[in-house]
Structure 1
Amino acid sequence: MSSLGALIILLAILMAIVGGETGIRSFFSVMINTILLILVAMLISWGLSIPVITLIFVPLKLVTIIFLGTHDYTVAKNSFYASLIVLLAVSVLIIGIQHLAQAAGLGVEAGEILLGHSQMPGISYEEISVTVAVFSALGAVAEAAVSISSGLLELKKAKPEIKEHELLKSGWAIGYDVLGTAMNTIVYGMFGSFLSLFLWYYRLHYTFGEIINDKLFVNEALIIMYSLMGVLLTIPLASFLLAKGMSRSKSEAKNGNETNRTKEL
């Protein structure tokens, strides 16, 4: 058995022990999302429309991430709608900034590896960079939406009479903590994956101007910014949608009870 296979089995066992049924569903969510990413890469390599593939697979990935990884339907539904709206807004921003940045394609660091090969495979590097950015921001946005929705729902259960504005205020308080951890996760994830590249920059005496104009660095920095902006937008939107949904459900329940009493009379 390979080390990767052993780690996958260990991950499945630990998730089942710690999370129970939800942990098992979360494990299958990870596996399904991995398969979806591989399928996206295959479809793009076969020449299918990249924007169409992105529009189809973004909702599919959100469904597998949120609904399979969450035990409460209210949390999942609220998180899905909030994440989808935020991703649509962020996607517009991504398309504009990626066009202005002109950082799509292969960097000079790949020159020796691709020597003798064509660097024009017949697909749009700009469209690929937009798809990569959207998928990269998707995980952070979905995580923030689930965290906010779960926290507010538990608060609502503990205090059923809490008012809507108090619920929104609590959402902001939870959001501050979520934003801090999300920022650290995204930034340190970037530094961890780019450590070898930073060593490359240092050993080859790159100037500050050369670093901030390098395609690999610019693309990674932009993805971090997209993810952080997505989390920032998710915090108020998820809080607002859940608070409104709870208020609407309470009003409908109250009206239903009054209707039943009227019928009984």
Structure 2
Amino acid sequence: MCQWVALYQEGGKTYVTEPDRMPWLLGLLGLFAFLAALLGRGKGVRGLLGTFLSLLVVVYFVVPRVAAGGNPLLYAFLGSVGVLLLTVYLVHGVNRKTTAALLGTLASVAFVLFLALFFTRSMGFTGLASEEALLLRQWGGVDLLSLFLAGVVVGTLGALTDVSVTQAAVVQALAHANPRFGLGELYRRGMEVGYDHIGSLVNTLVLAYAAGSLPLFLLLTRDPTPLRFLLNTEPFAAEIASMVLGSLGLLLAVPLTTLMAAWFFRGGR
């Protein structure tokens, strides 16, 4: 059972409003770290370290600069570069495979940023799609639309890294199996696996975003507003845009990474 924790004192009285969840949270994190190290061995430990360092990049590099009035898009992209360097190279080592995965992921991130910027402005988004954004607006000094776009990019990094490294590894295995394969042949054979990747990845981010937006979608069953107009409101339209843009990044990462890896490994390199 959770014990209650005192949050603050006022007028000689102690106000207790929340149960103390920290021991359970730490236990859950410890279980995750133990299983990652046990099942993933060295790469599992490096993956944990890379995740921790990536969070530090977001919390201590991206967030402070955005809070100070910096451009969220710029710092989200720079933070993405830092996160990818830490996660890809730390976990998988510095080699042709990881460099191809890194370049393919960065190209996908840049393209998604461009698409997101174009479509969100075309749809007239303001960035005021959540209660947190409304609070930030009261404080001022933050470009909320750019912050929304930055969130879309950061939210896709983990899945993008996963698909890019896997796809580069496929091309590497093909090149080692037959060193005579050139650029075109490696790309064609790598995309035979890539098409399966795309088929399974189409719904990955959609389901991830949908799971986090269940309360919002539940409003669809409660609100008498016609569906056409409800989906047109910014909270719903922003969630749909995030799902589609993130999934587009995954789709683009497969052929881009395959092409990069085929160039690096052509001729059995």
Q: Smaller-chain TM-score range?
A: 0.7 to 0.9
1: CA distance, partners of 2:226 / 2:92: 46
Q: Corresponding residue for 1:256?
A: none
SS across alignment from 1:97: helix
SS across alignment from 1:106: coil
CA deviations over 1:45-89 (Å, ceiling 9, x no partner): 233333432242121011123222324622211111111122222
Count of matched residue pairs: 247
Going from structure 1 to structure 2, the CA distance change for 1:32 and 1:158 (only over 3 Å counts) comes to: same
Q: Corresponding residue for 2:253?
A: 234
What amino acid maps onto 1:244 in structure 2? W
Task: Select the residue among 184, 196, 202 that pairs with 1:177.
Answer: 196
RMSD: 2.6
Going from structure 1 to structure 2, the CA distance change for 1:164 and 1:122 (only over 3 Å counts) comes to: closer
Task: Select the residue among 16, 23, 26 that pairs with 2:47.
Answer: 26
CA deviations over 1:161-191 (Å, ceiling 9, x no partner): 4444332122211112221222222111122
2: CA distance, partners of 1:49 / 1:191: 28
Q: Corresponding residue for 2:227?
A: 208
Q: Corresponding residue for 1:125?
A: 144
Q: Corresponding residue for 2:19?
A: none
SS across alignment from 1:2: helix
Q: Corresponding residue for 1:257?
A: none
Going from structure 1 to structure 2, the CA distance change for 1:18 and 1:71 (only over 3 Å counts) comes to: farther
Tell me, which stretches of 5 or more residues in structure 1 are unaligned? 251-265
CA deviations over 1:211-265 (Å, ceiling 9, x no partner): 3212222122112221222222222221111112112664xxxxxxxxxxxxxxx
What amino acid maps onto 1:178 in structure 2? H
Are 2:125 and 1:106 equivalent residues in the alignment? no
Structure 1: which 4+ aligned runs deviate by more than 6 Å? Answer: none
Q: Larger % of helix: which?
A: 1
Asked if the contact 2:179–2:267 (Cα under 8 Å) also holds between the matched residues in 1, the reply is: no
Q: Larger % of strand: which?
A: 2
TM-score by length of structure 1 reads 0.82
Q: Corresponding residue for 2:24?
A: 3
Task: Select the residue among 21, 32, 46 that pairs with 2:68.
Answer: 46
% identical aligned pairs = 22
Asked if the contact 2:180–2:267 (Cα under 8 Å) also holds between the matched residues in 1, the reply is: no
What amino acid maps onto 1:46 in structure 2? A
Going from structure 1 to structure 2, the CA distance change for 1:9 and 1:139 (only over 3 Å counts) comes to: same
Q: Corresponding residue for 2:36?
A: 15
Cα deviation, residue 103, structure 1: 2.2
What amino acid maps onto 1:211 in structure 2? L
2: CA distance, partners of 1:136 / 1:118: 22
1: CA distance, partners of 2:53 / 2:184: 38
2: CA distance, partners of 1:150 / 1:72: 13
Asked if the contact 2:168–2:257 (Cα under 8 Å) also holds between the matched residues in 1, the reply is: yes
TM-score by length of structure 2 reads 0.81
SS across alignment from 2:219: helix
Tell me, which stretches of 5 or more residues in structure 2 are unaligned? 1-21
2: CA distance, partners of 1:248 / 1:206: 61
2: CA distance, partners of 1:81 / 1:118: 35
2: CA distance, partners of 1:197 / 1:240: 39
